[in-house]
Amino acid sequence: MAKTNIHTLVLCDDTWHPASIVRRGLAPLRNFGFELEFLEDGSRWSTEMMSDFSLVVLAKANITSSSVSHPWLTQKSERELPDFVARGNGLVVVHAGTCRYDIAPATCQLMGGGFLRHPEQCLVKVSPTTDHALTDGVPPFAVCDEHYFIEMNDASAGIFLRSQSEHGEQPAGWVRSHQEGRVCVLTPGHNEEVWLHPSFQRLLLNALQWAARRI
């Protein structure tokens, strides 16, 4: 019996990370059973809509949109993502999705780590560090990117990917469980060339399949 498509909500678009890059970066994954619905204007998000999805891709800083700078996720609504995952759903956080969620501590804890800073764009080498379903078919690669420096808040998070540049080495991918659900975080992804790099495409596919319990 054929598997049904996974209804996936993609939250994207902020001041520094246009939705167009995320849309083009995820487009090839539609061929692998993911039904993608994009939401760019955070003011249109509601807790009620979450019941329609079993997987969320968070590729958006806590900024409403590229034209509206105030947060889309507040202290009042910040429990929704942890509750969504706790019910057995999946969350994949990419690059910008780690940024500016300090006002939502439960969401930061859900991610297992968050953005601290980045130097000017530079050559970043990304390398798997362990055998994991997430690293299957992913050779090391190097791209021009924002090298994200991360503050981890879960010592038990499973780091499977590291990034290295002239500025140092950082965790670049990790997984954790939250009650019945799964969370995967990938920190590369500022430029379109990163999203479309074959190794990153495979990482994205692995991450979505893992979070959705397909692998």
- What are the beta bridge partners of residue 122? 145
Amino acid identity of residue 43, one-letter, is: S
The alpha carbon dihedral of 187, 188, 192, 198 has a sign of negative
CA distance 72 to 46: 10
Query: Which distant-in-sequence residues (6+ apart) come within 8 Å of 139 by Cβ?
Result: 199
CATH 3.40.50.880 fits 6-211, yes or no: yes
Are the C-beta atoms of 90 and 64 separated by less than 8 Å?
A: no
pLDDT value at residue 207: 98
To 5 degrees, how large is the angle CA 109–CA 95–CA 197? 140
pLDDT value at residue 188: 98
Q: Residue 122's closest CA among 167, 69, 155?
A: 167
CA distances to 42, 45, 104, 188 from 174, in Å = 26, 26, 20, 12
What tens digit of pLDDT does each residue of 170-185 get? 999 999 999 999 999 9
Are the C-beta atoms of 42 and 17 separated by less than 8 Å?
A: no
pLDDT value at residue 14: 98
pLDDT value at residue 4: 85
CA distance 139 to 178: 28
pLDDT value at residue 155: 93
Counting as low any pLDDT under 70, the low residues of the chain are 1-2
What tens digit of pLDDT does each residue of 131-179 get? 899 999 999 999 999 999 999 999 999 999 999 999 999 999 999 999 9
CA distance 208 to 210: 5
Q: Residue 61's closest CA among 47, 73, 48?
A: 73
